[in-house]
Structure 1
Amino acid sequence: MEISEGLLGPLLLARSTIDRSAVLRQDTAWLERAWAEDRTRVVLVRKGETLVRRHEGGSDLVLLPPGQAPAGQRYLLGVDATNIAYFAVHAELPEISGAEVAGLRQAGALLGDRDAGLLVYAVALEAWHGTHEFCPQCGSRTEITAGGHVRTCPQDGSQHFPRVDPAVIMAVYDDDDRILLARGPQWPEGRMSVLAGFVEPGESLEQAVIREVLEEVGVTVKAPRYLGSQPWPFPRSLMLGFFARAATTELTRDPEEIAEARWFTRAELLAALESGDLRLPPPVSIARRLIETWYGDTLSGDW
């Protein structure tokens, strides 16, 4: 299988123009000065959503000066090339004329590089803070430190850092250059994607690819090849994309994981999309990139 170079641009949720400025997170004086500056900009985030303004050709985040941002947990996102600081604030989203509420799935593909990077970062931090309020060692309520990148226990002094769960996602193809797509039991008929699964402790990424495919559909794969990675903060995954060639093609589904699995030629895939019998993951996903890279062109037919 030849990978189409024209489809290997940046993954839509792996774009950013902001320096994360980790050294500044411990500088409380700088953080306060940055928050007091009128040119500092704030992205609001609530349950994975924010405010955006649509325009012809895309969308922009609604970025507020600190003085207009509602009170809430504050996280430093970084500094741009002109030394403008960006923060996220976890707060209720106010009504703003011309703005609408959207999440990454709706707006991620429409945002520019800067805004896509800011939003995926803000959503990931919000999700982590929402589930790590208490110390896992003693149960005390933790405090937000380091510009929102550490939670510190005031009782035992332990520090806790944002969690990222690595998951492999793989386009499996066979010697006849067919691609394997599958549907989870919770998905409606017609909605299909490539296989994916979490990396287990003590396991390499390549081992996870081989294990997950065998467990889910009974297919043995070989020679996993890495495509790229993309944050997927729903709530805290990092998706690591692979291609893998099938050494066997007979499908034996795990019914708890897979409701339907099928091999597609390019002609069969296109026909199913055109008839409406098949819908693919949204363009913002790495799953869509894997499928389109195998196909050799962009496709329509979103979930």
Structure 2
Amino acid sequence: MSGATDNNPSPLIGFAFAGDPLDRADHLRDDGQALAALWPDARVLVLDEQGNAHADAHGQLLAPRGHELAGSGPGTAIFLGLKDDVAWFAVNAAAVAVQAPRQVDLRRAAASWPAFEAGVFALARAMLYWHSRNRFCGICGGAVEFRRAGYTGHCSGCGNDHYPRVDPAVIVAVSDGQRLLLGRQASWPAGRYSVLAGFVEPGETLEQTVAREVYEESRVRVRHSRYLGAQPWPFPGALMLGFSAEAEPDPPQVDDELEDARWFTLEEIAAARERDEGGVAHDQPGLRLSPPISIARSLIEHWYQSMLRQSGR
């Protein structure tokens, strides 16, 4: 077996929701006067109950100014942050009397909107989802009042505070030095394979999670792993922590979680990339890789480029 294939120290790039962030401006969340002053010129993302955003006739973001939303204000919306001194808020469509030509889901926005707008949409969707699932206290059942511009849920019964939940998960490009390990779920489109992933459990380090998840899903033994980068994944509230890993060349064996797992050669990954770039119809046979908006695809690309450098191509 050859040595390490991951000899590129550069960070992962190219996936959605991780670039051009807002200034979260935490110091403003308790300043009602400042938020009220920012509201008239603020941009407001309006999301429906399914988490889709208001968009114009071309499918691009439609974020009205605060003064255009009659009967609303910063007290009815979640303060997301600042961009070039302009405040951004999110509000549920049921709370405002405004219509839009179209509704756009987050995956479509990630593929077609500018990076900043897609990232703000991701934050808005995650926060509104958290609000919708935390109207009552999980300790005593009391009603929850949202404070600090939407970032704290305060229980009216027991007085406990609740905060937005983020679920850490590892996602890992596993190599045996020559091949890349990919798996597929039965619900995915035909031919689609991706890198393995799983949630961190209590008492685990991230590296331990990598080894456990890969072994549980494929019976492949990881020797060591290295962190490469992260992607917020608000479906509904995960943080995907990307790793590369070197493993033994064990024959993959799957359980009920995956339909299949296989080792793929550099040539097979190259052919899949060409198939994607060439626009081959998705109902045609052949390996299909994760979509470009995901860190999964960036991990595959990272492995592919590392292997090309190692082989001198």
Taking the aligned partners of 1:96 and 1:132, their CA distance within structure 2 comes to 27
**Residues 228 and 243 in structure 2, CA contact (< 8 A), matched pair in contact too:** yes
Tell whether the 8 Å contact from 1:60 to 1:112 is kept in structure 2 after alignment: no
3-12 vs 141-150, which moves further = 3-12
What is residue 278 of structure 2 aligned with on the other side? none
**Deviation by residue 1:224-248 (Cα, 9 ceiling, x = unmatched):** 1111001001111000000001123
Contact persistence 1:50–1:102 (CA under 8 A)? yes
Residues 44 and 91 in structure 1, CA contact (< 8 A), matched pair in contact too: yes
Structure 2 CA distance for partners of 1:161 and 1:7, relative to 1, 3 Å: closer
Match of 2:77?
Answer: 74
| 1:52 correspondence with 2:61 | no
Q: Deviations over 1:12-35 (max 9, x none)?
A: 211234210011111122222322
What is the CA-CA distance between 1:53 and the residue it aligns to? 4.5
CA RMSD after TM alignment? 2.3
Pair 1:62 & 2:62 matched? yes
State the match for 1:206 in structure 2.
Answer: 207
Q: CA deviation at 1:6?
A: 8.1
Relative to structure 1, is the Cα distance of residues 225 and 188 closer, same or farther in structure 2, using a 3 angstrom cutoff? same
Which residue number in structure 2 is paired with residue 150 of structure 1? 152
TM-score, normalised via structure 2 length: 0.84
Give 1:168-183 correspondences, 5 Å limit: 168-176=170-178, 178-183=179-184
What's the offset of the Cα at 1:68?
2.8
Write out per-residue CA displacement over residues 259-280 of structure 1, whole angstroms, 9 at most, x where no aligned residue: 1111111212333563642222
Give the alignment of 1:98-247 within 5 angstroms. Answer: 100-176=102-178, 178-247=179-248
Q: CA deviation at 1:8?
A: 3.5
In 2, the alpha carbon distance for the partners of 1:181 and 1:265 equals 11
Matched residue SS, 2:208: helix
TM-score normalized by the length of structure 1: 0.87
- Once residues 11 and 138 of structure 2 are traced to their aligned partners in structure 1, the CA distance between those partners, rounded to angstroms, is 43
Unaligned regions of 5+ residues in structure 1, if any?
298-303
Alignment equivalent of 2:303, drawn from 290, 294, 302: 294
CA distance in 2, matches of 1:203, 1:2: 24
Q: Please give the alpha-carbon distance, in whole angstroms, between the structure 2 residues aligned to 1:5 and 1:213.
A: 23
Gapped regions of structure 2 (runs ≥ 5): 276-283, 307-313
Q: Whole-Å Cα distance in 1 between the matches of residues 247 and 70 of structure 2?
A: 53
* Identity fraction in percent: 43
In structure 2, do the counterparts of structure 1 residues 209 and 64 end up closer, same or farther at CA, with 3 Å as the change threshold? Answer: same
Aligned residue pairs: how many? 287
Task: Kindly provide the CA deviation profile for residues 8-66 of structure 1, in whole angstroms up to 9, marking residues without a partner as x.
Answer: 3363211234210011111122222322x2x21101122221123487xxx74211011
The structure that is helix-richer by fraction is: 2
Q: Aligned partners of 1:233, 1:71: CA distance in 2, in Å?
A: 29
The answer as to 2:253 corresponding to 1:249 is: no
Distance 1:251 1:102 in 2: 38
Pick from 3, 15, 20 the counterpart of residue 11 of structure 1. 15
Partners of 1:12 and 1:285 within 8 A in 2: yes
- Given that residues 7 and 296 in structure 1 are in contact (C-alpha distance below 8 angstroms), is that contact kept between their aligned partners in structure 2? no
CA distance in 2, matches of 1:17, 1:257: 34
**SS in structure 1 opposite 2:291?**
coil
Could you tell me how far 1:116 is from its partner in structure 2?
2.2
